[in-house]
Amino acid sequence: MPTAFLLPAVLLAAAAAAATTEATKNLVVTRGCVTSCGGVDIPYPFGIGSGCFRKGFEIECINNSPVLAGTSIHVVHLSGDPAESLVMLPVGWQCYNTSSPDKVEASSHGETEMNKHGVYRLSNTHNMLVILGCNTMGNIGSVRTTRDVDEYSYYMGCMTFCNYSATAQDGLCASVGCCHVDIPPGLTHNYFYFRVYDHTGMMDFSPCDYAFLVDRTNYTFRRSDLLRDTNRTSPVWLDWAIRGDDDSTSLSCAEAAKATTTEYACVSNHSDCVNATNGPGYNCRCSKGYQGNAYLVNGCSNIDECADPAKYPCKGVCRDTEGSYQCTCGPGYGSDDPKTQRCTPKFPLAAQICIEIVPVGLI
């Protein structure tokens, strides 16, 4: 190859290699499967790529950002025990027409299609529903039906009011510009619905209505939120479990352990099955005294309790055992409970007499 062409080719190859390195620098690969994307750990049953995930738990790594497969839902955190996922979900909104404030100009239901295989439930313990706006009533719906409005069941919602622009106050979400309610267990996805109220006289400070789920520890109302960007997303916790495509095919621990038509998920030695607390199905966890991933063969390993005295106290001599640990006093020392009480010397009788602990007349 002529030198004039060789140098550009080398430079192009170097540039391509650098680009590849940049695109994959946040990927961690073990056992042939990508186990990290964009700094987010991807523990099994989640996984990226064929053969690396259980049905319903596929993750895609797009531009070094993990998303639930087949969606644009960004994943912030995945946990095996507790069985939780933190994701960013869209906001529902409707904005009124500037010329005709009694009419809606544009809207979005903020609907998500993340649950094609039924593994997720919106966490009722971590999340709350928030409605923002002035003269606004918003609801959240879940579970398709054939009897309800828009083929959804509307579980709950709340209403807000504002007399004028300064009525809403920072830090207060108490039905003036902002209201919030708890959500029940069992919600499979979110779909927001609003009533339409005349916004005449409010367009400068409340031109839109908003509804969103959010981690209850991760949101504080600000008056400026009444003018928030409709494209913002909010952090929402999902509970997940080993389930069927619908409730009728989801098994409890007792059913899954003896079933022959399904793959039992708790495959590690020293693992336990626990029934899901939000919806049907079950989860797996390592037995007491073990840690790791109960969904992997040999995924649970012994905990060395002696290496973590803050969590596993011992004021005597600590010895790790399989699945537990022993805490005893050394020779010549004793304690009623060496895990919580210091060991003290055990003096022989002659020594006790010498230091006058036992009167001589009693010998």
Q: What is the DSSP string of 67-99?
A: EETTS--EEEEEETTTTEEEEEEEPEEEEE-SS
Task: Tell me the C-alpha distance between 143 and 26, whole Å.
Answer: 37
CATH label, 253-302, candidates 1.10.20, 1.20.140, 2.60.120, 2.10.25: 2.10.25
Tell me the backbone φ, ψ of residue 307, rounded to 5 degrees: -85, -5
- Which residue has tokens 């001599």? 317
Pairing outcome for strands 178-182 and 33-37: unpaired
Q: Which amino acid does the sequence have at 341?
A: Q
CATH topology of domain 306-353: Laminin (2.10.25)
**What's the pLDDT score for residue 224?**
94
* Location of each CATH 2.10.25 domain in the chain: 253-302, 306-353
More confident residue, 144 or 351: 351
Asked whether the predicted pLDDT for residue 99 surpasses 60, the reply is yes
- Which residue has tokens 């390195």? 21
In this structure, what DSSP letter does residue 256 have?
H
- Give the global pTM: 0.81
Categorize the per-residue pLDDT at 186 as very low, low, confident or very high, splitting at 50, 70 and 90.
confident
pLDDT digits (tens, 9 = 90+) for 56-74: 999 999 999 999 999 999 9
Six-digit token pair at 34?
Answer: 């990508």
The SS3 of residue 223 is helix
pLDDT digits (tens, 9 = 90+) for 132-174: 999 999 999 876 543 444 555 657 899 999 988 889 999 999 9
Asked whether the predicted pLDDT for residue 284 surpasses 50, the reply is yes
